[in-house]
């Protein structure tokens, strides 16, 4: 019997994932990773589900490691004028790293999560494929995970929709069947990231500067930590037309503004890229520069030192340095990287 380590968050997706795999004949080991404080309810829910399903369960406390990697990355990115993507970063540097170690510890064959995505094989290479449920597809957040993990990954929910998952949970009597979906950035616990940063950063070290529009100072801002490229709302500027954040200068701490008519960029530079399979150095593809964005056609040029240039067919609004670009061939995820800048 093959053994699988399932990441159990205490939510309905990971709970049904565990149930499906057990029904398929796997020896399921549920692992719940404690990554920050105030997770007691999630831990209890995961333990309760594991008992209901009669599977082995363990909680591992990785809160120190999570703080030193993901939370520090999150805070430091904003302090550098970048827009972080903590979920994609966590999948690369924390969550799947922890799960891989648990897989080795238990002598398991696979790792499984409740992500809405699929694993497929094309021309002898494993790839991540978009979920059949386009509204819940989470492949974007998996663009940076290690290539060598694809042979180990299972995503049982890839061909399902949320309603179907909840029906399964309800049919087997799981109390989490109607539990709300988890927040996108888990450690914010549904709060505003600005409030979180204000608690975590010494007020005397906030990087204040000026809003700049058409080369002129408009007013002082609250600190570069509290703004992102493309932001319009919450600037606190009374102006006769909409203004957007175009560029955040981490040296002068000034925030440069633009109006909507000058927001498009065709060229995007990536660094710390991650690729699946063996892509060509120059190829046509589609890309998503943020989770909610529609895929856009482009030309990809892979460069040395894990870098790449993206040239879109049409200008893209406000590519945000620090965010993740996910590269696709239709439904197949080819890889991705962090946005470094535009050209």
Residue positions annotated with a catalytic role: 90, 186
Closest to 285 (Cα-Cα) out of 295, 271, 274, 275: 295
Tokens of 192: 């505003």
Label residues 114-142 b or e (16+ Cβ within 10 Å = b): bbbbbeeeeeeebbbbbbbbeebbbbbbb
Which CA distances in Å does 309 have to 117, 209, 275, 283, 338? 26, 31, 14, 11, 11
Q: How far is Cα of residue 118 from the mean position of the Cα atoms in its chain? A: 16
* Cα–Cα dist 319/184, whole Å: 20
Cα-based torsion angle of the residue sequence 154, 158, 163, 164 in order, rounded to the nearest 10 degrees: -70
Cα-based torsion angle of the residue sequence 210, 213, 215, 218 in order, rounded to the nearest 10 degrees: -50
Closest to 248 (Cα-Cα) out of 268, 221, 273: 221
Closest to 45 (Cα-Cα) out of 177, 194, 185, 225: 177
- How many residues are listed for the chain in this entry? 343
């Amino acid at each position: 019997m093959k053994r699988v380590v399932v990441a159990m968050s205490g939510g309905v997706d990971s709970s049904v994932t565990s149930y499906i795999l057990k029904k398929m004949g796997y020896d399921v080991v549920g692992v719940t990773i404690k990554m920050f404080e105030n997770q007691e309810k999630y831990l209890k829910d995961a333990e309760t589900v594991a008992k209901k399903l009669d599977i082995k369960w363990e909680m591992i406390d990785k809160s120190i490691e999570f703080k030193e990697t993901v939370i520090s990355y999150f805070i430091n990115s904003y302090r550098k004028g970048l827009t972080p993507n903590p979920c994609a970063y966590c999948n690369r540097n924390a969550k799947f790293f922890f799960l891989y170690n648990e897989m080795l510890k238990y002598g398991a064959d696979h790792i499984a999560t409740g992500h809405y995505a699929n694993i497929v094989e094309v021309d002898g290479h494993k790839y991540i494929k978009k979920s059949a449920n386009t509204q819940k597809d989470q492949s974007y957040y998996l663009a940076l995970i290690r290539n060598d993990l694809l042979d180990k990954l299972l995503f049982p929910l890839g061909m399902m929709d949320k309603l179907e998952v909840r029906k399964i949970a309800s049919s087997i009597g799981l109390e989490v069947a109607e539990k709300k979906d988890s927040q996108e950035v888990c450690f914010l616990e549904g709060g505003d990231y600005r409030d979180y940063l204000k608690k975590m950063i010494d007020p005397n070290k906030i990087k204040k500067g000026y809003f700049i529009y058409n080369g002129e100072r408009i007013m002082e801002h609250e600190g570069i930590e509290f703004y992102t490229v493309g932001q319009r709302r919450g600037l606190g500027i009374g102006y006769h037309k909409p203004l957007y954040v175009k560029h955040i200068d981490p040296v002068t701490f000034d925030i440069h503004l633009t109006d909507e008519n000058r927001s498009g960029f065709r060229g995007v530079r990536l660094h710390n890229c991650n690729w699946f399979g063996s892509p060509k150095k120059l190829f046509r593809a589609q890309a998503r520069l943020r989770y909610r964005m529609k895929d856009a056609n482009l030309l990809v040029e892979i460069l040395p030192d894990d870098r790449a240039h993206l040239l879109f067919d049409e200008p893209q609004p406000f590519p945000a340095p620090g965010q993740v670009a996910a590269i696709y061939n239709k439904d197949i995820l080819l890889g991705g990287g962090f946005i470094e800048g535009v050209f």
